[in-house]
Amino acid sequence: MMLSTWRRLKTDRFGMGGLVIVAFFAVTALCVWTGLLGQGWSEVSGNRWESSSVAHWFGTNLLGQDIFQRTLFGAATAFEVGLIVTIFSIVLGTVLGGLAGWYSNSWLDEVILWLKGVLDSIPFYLFAAAIAFALQGNRWAMHLAMIITFWTTTARIVRGEVMRIKQREFVEAARAIGLPGITIVYRHVLPNTVHILLVQSTIVFVAAIKTEVILSFLGLGIQDGVSWGLMLAESSQEVLAGHFGNFVAASVALFVMLMGFNLLADALQDALDTRRTAT
């Protein structure tokens, strides 16, 4: 089943392009984490605002740090934020959404929906600021803020899907032999939401990275490292002085990676969809 999706995905040139881009950035992130690349991101290795040269491929920033190194590290940060937020919010959203959907119209459903409603109505950036403040500069404050608010979209989608799947006869068949609810949910219902979750993951990943950019502008972003958002924030001053290195590097990197993800997400959705209609 995954094979036929893969086969279909392979024929979508844009999708494969997206996959290649994402893979490229993923490998870069991996290299940074394992210490192979981007280690000089905080080093003041040159004069301020040097233009690009052999020593500094993208030039240097305000403090004389190598922009290229910082861009590489930014990829790692993007993936760190993206992966952590995506994995946790998807899991949380699936569990809560699944419970709400399976026990729909019960008190449990009402509670989860209420919680969702409350979180959805809090202006996100205020909320992120509040958490950052409450956790007093903890490095994970930003991730936590995102996880706590992002799970709601996944939960809503999963809840709807679970409610639909519940009606299908194969679920009735499982009930008829006496399988307990939990077993039915993880064995029969949730596997049929995988296609939705896959697409949702790419969407959340993109949202997380974009959110990080804005949080960095607000000074609530990454504390001990560099991200493209932070670079963009820094560059807002530099651009006024006529130095675009930082800005261009971060924007282009951000744009290319998000574009890659979007292409991949669309292609994935198509590849998964055709499988559903073919009998």
Partner 1 sequence: MNKHHQQATTPLLEVHELSLSYPHQENAIDRVSFKLEAGKTLGLVGASGAGKSSVARAILHLLKPDAGAVLFDGQNIFNMDHDTLRDARRRIQIVFQEPSSSLSPRRTVKQTLLEPLRHFAIGDNDYRQSKIRQTLQTVGLDEEVLSRYPHQFSTGQQQRIAIARALITNPDLLIADEAVSALDVSIQAQILQLIQALQQEHGIAFLFISHDLAVIRQIADDVAVMYRGQLLEHSPAGTFFSQPAHPYSKALLSFASFNAPAQLKALQATVEQLPACIYADRCTEKMPVCERLEPGIHNIRHKNGLHCVKCHLYDEKNTNDS
Residues that bind partner 1 (CB under 8 A): 1, 168-170, 172-179, 187-188, 191-192, 194, 275, 278-279
The residue (of 8 and 70) whose beta carbon lies closer to partner 1 is: 8
**Separation CA 72–CA 31 (nearest Å):** 9
Note whether 67 and 128 are within 8 A (CB). Answer: no
For residue 200 the two structure tokens come to 């949702």
Nearest approach in angstroms of CB 170 to partner 1 is 4
**Smallest distance, Å, CB 12 to partner 1?**
21
Q: Are 273 and 9 in contact (CB under 8 A)?
A: no
Angle at the Cα of 73 from the Cα atoms of 68 and 76, rounded to 5 degrees: 140
Shortest Å distance, C-beta 233 to partner 1: 45
* CA gap 231, 216 in Å, rounded: 9
Of 48 and 175, CB closest to partner 1: 175
Decide whether 44 or 194 has the Cβ nearer to partner 1: 194
Residue 54 or 278 having the CB closest to partner 1: 278
- Shortest distance (Å) from residue 91 CB to partner 1: 19
Of 132 and 174, the one with the shorter C-beta distance to partner 1 is 174
Residues in the chain: 279
Least Å from the CB of residue 38 to partner 1: 40
